[in-house]
Structure 1
Amino acid sequence: MTRNHPTLLEVAVIATAFKLLLLPAYKSTDFEVHRNWLAITHSLPVKEWYYEKTSEWTLDYPPFFAAFEWAMSQVAVYFDKDMLRVANLGYDSFNTVLFQRLSVILTELVLVYALNKYVQTSPTTQRKPAYAAALAILLSPGFLIIDHIHFQYNGFMYGLLLLSIVYMRDPSTYLRGGILFAVLLCFKHIYLYLAPAYFVFLLRAYCLGPNFQIQFGNAIKLGTSIITVFGIAFGPFAYWGQIPQVLSRLFPFSRGLTHAYWAPNVWAIYSFLDRFLIMVAPKLGLHVDASAVNSVTRGLVGDSAFAVLPNVTPRVTFVLTLAFQMMFLIKPFLYPTFDNFLASLTLCGYGSFLFGWHVHEKAILLVLIPFSLLALKDRRYLAAFRPLAVAGHVSLFPLLFTAAEFPIKTVYTIFYLLTFLTAFELLTPPSSTPRTFVFDRFAQMYWLISVPLIAYTSLFHGIIWGKRFEFLPLMFTSAYAALGVVGSAVGLGYVEGLGLKKQVEEEREKVE
């Protein structure tokens, strides 16, 4: 049968041509972060990698990513040796920019491979929706903004995650998926947020039989494999007695509750409410901590004080995150299907993003990527996905604050959302249970509000206020996006709760 659409590789080639035009675009401090890591891993012995602090951008990713930087540095030396000097802080010659931009584009081929494998392993009847989801991920404004302009390597690492997810489809490759996820954790520890879903699913589907009898052989193979992966990554540092130093770099809890102003989560709403209460406190007779008025969670090191509301500690965020995630681990444990695993993975991402400590805006990809694979399951899932798609991408806009990138981020994102949300609507089957009026209307209204919000924060605020109240656009964007993310999480949680109830009732009917 003749195909009537381009392959993912063909789309990737076209997208690459566009990304090459962005070589001279704005680059954030993350560009210098990764240049510095190239220099550290190339110039210094491994023993010194996690102690080097000439730059404030010290190495704070796990050992496999450090090794990844070292491998890239072996090529970087042929572009410009000076970029590999630790003392060359802020170095950004043309060849340095060229190499780092190209390294992001080339390593993103892992994402293309994983998405293609996802499509090919989908049931024949689901190939078209799978292709649409894969295309939506490949062309995501998230990767364009964060990786190809702002600068990171998320495409490469989410490629590893998606490949691991694909292996969770087939019982014969469960072990491979678990090993690959362990490898991913040794590249970037943020994926620990998704680990509970992997743990529960592999425990139930691979290490326990249908009647919960222990599969000792499988448990030993999985446990040994994961220990081996972590042993390879962290073993040398354990041998040198450097584990405390490495962990202090990976988990810097001295940072504030919220990152910058602010990642769109529960704490953004909490922070917004605190600032509102500061203004109305005199009328309501509320106590205001004067020392915290000018430093309310702006993401500064050690800055997590609130003026009116109670302060939040890392322990509180951990308990809330774990409590939220545990609610949605019951379903994959009782019914270990691929769809249930994917839903629990998405909800674990939600839990960590909504309640985590010092969450970055960029971490929204932890939710967006797995949910993109789930959104076309039926209309109820799509209704929950829509506000996330809008909120997740709009929340990234403050990362690019220069005028030259404004048309790129806005036009590309709006066109992307219109195209893929329309396509998803056409490809998504109706739900087997009634849709919820409130969630449907929320999704529609949320989308409509985004346009005037973008117009105000990006254009009209400067015209009206000039350089005054510079924090307002960021605050409005974060609070608006937070409502979308929270609403989306509630919608997906509700749908999954109904699904669990239905499966329990079906099991009960079989027994009777």
Structure 2
Amino acid sequence: MYRDLIIFSAFIKLLLYPAYRSTDFEVHRNWLAITHSLPLSEWYYESRSEWTLDYPPFFAWFEWFLSQFASLWDKNMLNVDNINYASDETIYFQRTTVIITELVLLYALKKFMMHSENKNISYILVASIFLNPGLLMVHFQYNGFLYGIFLLSLTYAKEGKDLLCGIVFAVLLNFKHIFLYLAPAYFVYLLRHYCFKDPGSQDFGNFLHSKFIILGLSVISIFSLSFGPFLYMGQLGQVFSRLFPFKRGLCHAYWAPNFWALYSFMDRILIIVFRQLGWGLNDTATSSVTRGLVGDVSFAVLPQISAKTTFIITVVFQMASLAKLWRYPNFKNFIGSTILCGYSSFLFGWHVHEKAVLLIMIPFGLIATESLEHFRTFIILSISGLFSLFPLLFKATETIIKISIFVLWIVLTCLGLSRTFSTYINPKVEQRQNR
């Protein structure tokens, strides 16, 4: 069955080879050129293109690895001066490498579902996540590969291999730092479940210092391997300035559908109201708009929001799930806390990208059949989350394609999973309630 899924997925993506290419295409083409053509000391300084390298070092090395094969396709794509270069060979290379690396996601999904009681449900869940339209809409970011590493860390936690879970997640953070949104859940779970002899006990006398040291040294070793060369060259500050560009402003160029989008929208409405009432406003603030690359946003009426404020609000909303995870450090609460930490960060974080909604959708798909409430929430989340990504494919020629794929995915997922409730899930829930 999984072979058929691979063939079907590859066939669909092959048909989309000539389709629209987002700016992510040029981003990663430029990163291929930077890592291939320039010495390591210049990777995080190169700025001939506006799409500068702003992912952690492991991903930079991943681009370097891909560039070794890219040179066999079209050497011109590896020229740093070839801004916006898009030969057919370059397009085919990037789409092909995305498809191949997405097999990491399929492996992780298959491994996660390996011991599931119902194989049909497992296969439907695997297919729904692997074929998620959101991964198609942000095709060139190698998200399938990255989410594969993420789900692999969850799989190790499910199998009780906590140390491996922590190591894989540390590796993931050095590929893409957006997964820091989920780090609080990992920290609490690993501390309580791995570093305590009896995870259910609140007694710190059960704290195992040896395991804490092993886990800490493992994580430190991975980060040292990643950032060590740049620390040695005295470039750590430059690397961090690329990874955390706080000057980009509160909202991304394309507003993510979160609290700050509503906040910004309300400020625009209040500007109109104040003008109608003849009340004076700051001209600079009223002309300020969202800037995705550089510059901050000034609000004309509502209070200004700092990065520190968004951090505090995010942590506050994460605390409920983290407190429950601390008291009951089991895998069910861990994956739930992971989802809620991602959701809190998506709603209240600083400069949140619209694509961050996948941080909620992907892991939620793993627990979509836990109950009827989970299933309903998953469908609502999927519909709203995928719909919010539609503007990423803004050309008229892609409208029919994105709507067709979206509707087909929703229908097949709903039909495939809804049938399981009458034959498998509902009786199982009733058995639990009768106990």
The residue type paired with residue 199 of structure 1 is: F
Partner residue in 2 for 1:310: 303
Contact 1:237 1:243 in 2 (8 A): yes
Partner residue in 2 for 1:145: 137
Partner residue in 2 for 1:52: 46
- In the alignment, the residues of structure 1 paired with residue 122 and residue 301 of structure 2 have an alpha-carbon distance, to the nearest angstrom, of 48
The residue type paired with residue 26 of structure 2 is: E
Partner residue in 1 for 2:154: 165
Is 1:24 the counterpart of 2:18 in the alignment? yes
What runs of 5+ residues in structure 2 fail to find an aligned partner? none
Matches within 5 A, 1:248-397: 248-282=241-275, 288-299=281-292, 301-397=294-390
CA deviation profile, 1:165-186 (whole Å, cap 9, x unmatched)? 1111122x11111100000000
Q: Root-mean-square deviation (CA), in Å? A: 2.1
- Measured after TM superposition, the shift of residue 431 of structure 1 is 10
Matches within 5 A, 1:175-254: 175-210=163-198, 211=201, 212=203, 213-254=206-247
Contact 2:248 2:291 in 1 (8 A): no
- Measured after TM superposition, the shift of residue 298 of structure 1 is 4.8
CA deviation profile, 1:300-334 (whole Å, cap 9, x unmatched)? 52231122211211111111111111121011211
Partner residue in 2 for 1:437: none
- In the alignment, the residues of structure 2 paired with residue 218 and residue 9 of structure 1 have an alpha-carbon distance, to the nearest angstrom, of 40
The residue type paired with residue 221 of structure 2 is: T
The change in CA–CA distance for 1:284 and 1:154 in structure 2 (over 3 A counts) is same
The residue type paired with residue 177 of structure 2 is: H
The residue type paired with residue 161 of structure 1 is: F
Is 1:155 the counterpart of 2:155 in the alignment? no
- Measured after TM superposition, the shift of residue 200 of structure 1 is 0.5
- Measured after TM superposition, the shift of residue 33 of structure 1 is 1.0
Partner residue in 2 for 1:98: 92
Partner residue in 2 for 1:135: 127
Q: Which moved more, 1:425-434 or 1:405-414?
A: 425-434
Contact 1:9 1:112 in 2 (8 A): no
The change in CA–CA distance for 1:278 and 1:433 in structure 2 (over 3 A counts) is farther
Contact 2:371 2:429 in 1 (8 A): no
Contact 2:59 2:174 in 1 (8 A): yes
Contact 1:257 1:299 in 2 (8 A): no
Counterpart of 2:414 in 1: which secondary structure? helix
Counterpart of 2:207 in 1: which secondary structure? coil
Matches within 5 A, 1:68-83: 68-83=62-77
For 1:118, which of 104, 112, 116 is the aligned residue?
Answer: 112
- In the alignment, the residues of structure 1 paired with residue 287 and residue 375 of structure 2 have an alpha-carbon distance, to the nearest angstrom, of 41
Contact 1:287 1:308 in 2 (8 A): no
- In the alignment, the residues of structure 1 paired with residue 293 and residue 241 of structure 2 have an alpha-carbon distance, to the nearest angstrom, of 18
For 1:64, which of 36, 58, 62 is the aligned residue?
Answer: 58
The change in CA–CA distance for 1:355 and 1:347 in structure 2 (over 3 A counts) is same
- In the alignment, the residues of structure 1 paired with residue 254 and residue 71 of structure 2 have an alpha-carbon distance, to the nearest angstrom, of 37
- In the alignment, the residues of structure 2 paired with residue 158 and residue 274 of structure 1 have an alpha-carbon distance, to the nearest angstrom, of 35
Identity %: 53
- Measured after TM superposition, the shift of residue 286 of structure 1 is 6.3
The residue type paired with residue 248 of structure 1 is: S
CA deviation profile, 1:369-397 (whole Å, cap 9, x unmatched)? 11111221112222332321111100110
Compute the TM-score of the two structures, normalised by the length of structure 1. 0.79
Counterpart of 1:209 in 2: which secondary structure? coil
- In the alignment, the residues of structure 1 paired with residue 293 and residue 95 of structure 2 have an alpha-carbon distance, to the nearest angstrom, of 29
- In the alignment, the residues of structure 1 paired with residue 84 and residue 254 of structure 2 have an alpha-carbon distance, to the nearest angstrom, of 25
- In the alignment, the residues of structure 2 paired with residue 317 and residue 427 of structure 1 have an alpha-carbon distance, to the nearest angstrom, of 41
Contact 2:77 2:85 in 1 (8 A): yes
- In the alignment, the residues of structure 1 paired with residue 428 and residue 277 of structure 2 have an alpha-carbon distance, to the nearest angstrom, of 49
- In the alignment, the residues of structure 1 paired with residue 69 and residue 429 of structure 2 have an alpha-carbon distance, to the nearest angstrom, of 55
- In the alignment, the residues of structure 1 paired with residue 77 and residue 292 of structure 2 have an alpha-carbon distance, to the nearest angstrom, of 29
Counterpart of 1:86 in 2: which secondary structure? coil
- Measured after TM superposition, the shift of residue 87 of structure 1 is 1.0
The change in CA–CA distance for 1:81 and 1:433 in structure 2 (over 3 A counts) is closer
What runs of 5+ residues in structure 1 fail to find an aligned partner? 1-6, 435-501, 507-512
Is 1:8 the counterpart of 2:2 in the alignment? yes
Q: Which moved more, 1:186-195 or 1:276-285?
A: 276-285
The change in CA–CA distance for 1:432 and 1:111 in structure 2 (over 3 A counts) is closer
Compute the TM-score of the two structures, normalised by the length of structure 2. 0.93
Q: Which moved more, 1:292-301 or 1:368-377?
A: 292-301
- In the alignment, the residues of structure 1 paired with residue 313 and residue 25 of structure 2 have an alpha-carbon distance, to the nearest angstrom, of 33
Partner residue in 2 for 1:416: 409
Matches within 5 A, 1:361-510: 361-428=354-421, 429-430=425-426
The change in CA–CA distance for 1:88 and 1:383 in structure 2 (over 3 A counts) is same
The change in CA–CA distance for 1:433 and 1:330 in structure 2 (over 3 A counts) is farther
